[in-house]
């Protein structure tokens, strides 16, 4: 779930040349709210960070081969042009933490601009949930700094969604950027779905105050990748089943038309059991402490008695302050804050409890130095054996509480599940396939349809001449072979622009 987007991070600081800052809009004076309630703006109108015309953005993306690929995904051509320009606003709003405590969060609000009919008049909204980020400064609205860890993902959203006529609301999540929450409720479904809804409410309030004077047609689509795939599906469920959320949407004249969760850890308990049982994924030495720290701080310090009881002594001191924190994944490893590969000690017997053979990738999860003590792992495995379906071990119990295959999401409207069958980070068979196979999807729900998009034709994906996603599948499969030396570190993140482009096509199909 780590979001590096190495292949898409070269768009360049030249965006600044076309940027146009400043707040204000619709002739209104700026106001501030230092104690915002849920969904209320901290500053109205929000600050406009960047304004790019269609021609300027097209020129920037066509400047080199890397960004030409992004332009081609968006428009079907290496030279474009993008249908719309994009204005990006920095949104701050009130929301709640895992305990229901009042806090703030921030988001990017991207709106299409220009005279093309695809960019004018009332527009649909994409509410997007981002993938796992270890750096606290993650900010999808910051187009002024190409080193911003959110910079590449922000450009994927701006060029594929906003430049094709969709309003984009992309929360940074509570606990990131300017949020005054001192922790991030990582993969806590109830809190993260509230955060998403609050960002949507704040954005709807902000739209008439913007310089562009944008309005919405009331159609909302949910999108999210990796961690965000889980968040998007949980949010879709809440918007349909939670009475307060339903009432909020109705009061704003907004209707959820569909969702596109991508490469998400939906089967949280099964995924956790697989990892601790020996199926250690790429990036686990940051993903696991991200999860453990998030749950420890979201569930009243009940995951473990102390960091030293869980982590090896080399890493225990200060580890909870690192997720999210000031350091990137590269610096976390370089500075010895976490080991690069080994989650568990070499002496710990792998014993894949899911009955799957260990692979060379999984073998790398056991070694020296390692992050997590074998005693913690063995206690987890004991609970798996003795209390398999009714966990008593705190971590397994909370994984089950946030498991979207056990807690039926009940999405109404069209849903697309995108991913790659050979994903070494968020396993497709353990999560996406399991979601489809376990009966987690409801039967007899009005207007419900599910589309599965496995991008990897070498990993169980299929295609035919009638497949609207055939070109994307062929391109991804050709450019991301699982035989490549850097497969483990790039495959999961390289799926992002392909799945986002598939989501755009899907939303247009179900519009």
Q: At what angle do helices 487-510 and 65-75 cross, to 10 degrees?
A: 30
Contact 161, 140 (CB under 8 A): no
Per-residue pLDDT reduced to its tens digit, 81-134: 999 999 999 999 999 999 999 999 999 999 999 999 999 999 999 999 999 999
**Pseudo-torsion of CA 246, 294, 298, 405, nearest 10°?**
50
Band the pLDDT of 16: cuts 50, 70, 90: very low
Band the pLDDT of 25: cuts 50, 70, 90: low
Question: What is the structure's pLDDT at 73?
Answer: 95
Helical ranges in 242-306 per DSSP H: 243-251, 268-276, 284-298
Band the pLDDT of 461: cuts 50, 70, 90: very high
Beta-bridge mates of residue 31: 44
Contacts of residue 273, defined as CB under 8 A and 6 or more positions apart, other chains included, come to 353, 354, 384, 396
Provide the 3-class DSSP secondary structure of residue 456: coil
Pick the more confident residue, 65 or 36: 36
- Please classify residue 420 by burial: count the beta carbons closer than 10 Å to its beta carbon, then call 0-12 exposed, 13-18 middle and 19+ buried: buried
Helical ranges in 359-486 per DSSP H: 360-363, 374-386, 394-401, 432-437, 470-479
Cα separation, 410 vs 291, in Å, equals 25
> In Å, how far are 38, 108, 195, 199 from 47, measured between CA atoms?
20, 10, 20, 15
Contact 151, 9 (CB under 8 A): yes
Per-residue pLDDT reduced to its tens digit, 300-321: 999 999 999 999 999 999 999 9
* 45 cis-preceded (ω within 30 degrees of 0): yes
Cα separation, 152 vs 480, in Å, equals 18
Beta-bridge mates of residue 261: 224
Residue 223's nearest CA partner among 430, 417, 492, 435 is 417
Q: Is the domain 6-266+405-510 a CATH 1.10.760.10 member? A: no
Per-residue pLDDT reduced to its tens digit, 148-188: 999 999 999 999 999 999 999 999 999 999 999 999 999 99
Quick one: average pLDDT of 230-256?
Answer: 93
Contact 39, 205 (CB under 8 A): yes
Band the pLDDT of 24: cuts 50, 70, 90: low
Band the pLDDT of 19: cuts 50, 70, 90: very low
Contacts of residue 247, defined as CB under 8 A and 6 or more positions apart, other chains included, come to none
Question: What is the domain partition of the chain in residue ranges?
Answer: 6-266+405-510, 268-401
Provide the 3-class DSSP secondary structure of residue 481: coil
Percent over 90 (pLDDT), the chain? 77
Determine the straight-line distance between the first and last CA of the chain, rounded to whole angstroms: 29
Contact 47, 191 (CB under 8 A): no
Q: Mean pLDDT lowest for which of 243-252, 359-368, 479-488?
A: 359-368
Residue by residue, DSSP assigns 151-191 as HHHHHHHHHHTGGGT-EEEEE--TTSTT---SS--TT-HHH
Percent over 70 (pLDDT), the chain? 89
Quick one: average pLDDT of 213-241?
Answer: 94
Per-residue pLDDT reduced to its tens digit, 380-407: 999 999 999 999 999 999 999 999 987 6
Band the pLDDT of 448: cuts 50, 70, 90: low
pTM beyond 0.85, yes or no: yes
Band the pLDDT of 330: cuts 50, 70, 90: very high
Contact 426, 263 (CB under 8 A): yes
User: Would the pLDDT of 22 be above 80?
Assistant: no
- Please classify residue 66 by burial: count the beta carbons closer than 10 Å to its beta carbon, then call 0-12 exposed, 13-18 middle and 19+ buried: middle
Band the pLDDT of 17: cuts 50, 70, 90: very low
């Amino acid at each position: 779930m780590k979001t590096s987007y190495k292949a898409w991070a070269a768009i360049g600081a030249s965006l600044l040349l076309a940027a146009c800052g400043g707040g204000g809009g619709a002739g209104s004076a700026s106001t501030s709210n230092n104690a915002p309630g849920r969904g209320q703006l901290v500053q109205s109108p929000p600050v406009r960070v960047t304004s790019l015309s269609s021609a300027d953005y097209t020129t920037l993306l066509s400047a080199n081969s890397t960004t030409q690929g992004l332009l081609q995904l968006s428009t079907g051509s290496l030279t474009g042009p993008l249908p719309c320009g994009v204005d990006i606003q920095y949104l701050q709003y009130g929301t709640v933490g895992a305990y229901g405590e009042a806090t703030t969060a921030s988001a990017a609000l991207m709106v299409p601009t220009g005279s093309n009919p695809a960019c004018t008049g009332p527009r649909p909204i994409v509410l997007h949930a981002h993938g796992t980020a270890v750096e606290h400064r993650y900010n999808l609205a910051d187009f002024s700094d190409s080193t911003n860890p959110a910079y590449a993902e922000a450009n994927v959203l701006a060029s594929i969604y906003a430049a094709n006529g969709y309003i984009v609301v992309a929360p940074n999540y509570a606990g990131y950027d300017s949020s005054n929450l001192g922790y991030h409720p990582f993969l806590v479904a109830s809190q993260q779905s509230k955060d998403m809804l609050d960002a949507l409410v704040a954005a709807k309030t902000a739209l008439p105050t913007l310089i562009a004077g944008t309005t919405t047609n009331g159609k909302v689509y949910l999108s999210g990748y990796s961690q965000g795939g889980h968040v998007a599906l949980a949010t879709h469920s809440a918007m349909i089943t939670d009475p307060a959320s339903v009432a909020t949407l109705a009061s704003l004249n907004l209707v959820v038309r569909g969702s596109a969760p991508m490469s998400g850890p939906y089967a949280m308990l099964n995924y956790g059991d697989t990892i601790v049982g020996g199926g250690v994924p790429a990036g686990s030495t940051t993903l696991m402490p991200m999860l453990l720290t998030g749950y420890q701080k979201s569930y009243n310090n009940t995951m473990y008695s102390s960091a030293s009881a869980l982590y090896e002594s080399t890493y225990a001191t200060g580890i909870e302050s690192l997720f999210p924190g000031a350091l990137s994944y590269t610096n976390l490893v370089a500075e010895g804050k976490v080991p690069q590969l080994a989650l568990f000690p070499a002496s710990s017997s792998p014993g894949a409890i899911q009955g799957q053979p260990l692979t060379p990738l999984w073998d790398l999860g056991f070694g020296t130095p390692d992050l997590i003590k074998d005693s913690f792992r063995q206690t987890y495995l004991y609970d798996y054996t003795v209390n398999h379906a009714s966990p008593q071990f705190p971590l397994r119990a909370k994984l089950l509480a946030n498991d979207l295959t056990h807690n039926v999401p009940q999405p109404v409207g069209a849903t697309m599940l995108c991913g790659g069958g050979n994903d070494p980070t968020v396993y497709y068979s353990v999560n996406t396939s399991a979601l489809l196979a376990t009966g987690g999807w409801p039967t007899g729900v009005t207007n419900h349809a599910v589309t599965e998009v496995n991008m990897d034709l070498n990993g169980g994906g299929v295609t035919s001449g009638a497949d609207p996603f055939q070109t994307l599948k062929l391109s991804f499969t050709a450019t991301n072979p699982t035989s490549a030396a850097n497969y483990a570190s790039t495959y999961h993140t390289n799926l992002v622009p392909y799945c986002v482009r598939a989501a755009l096509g899907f939303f247009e199909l179900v519009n």
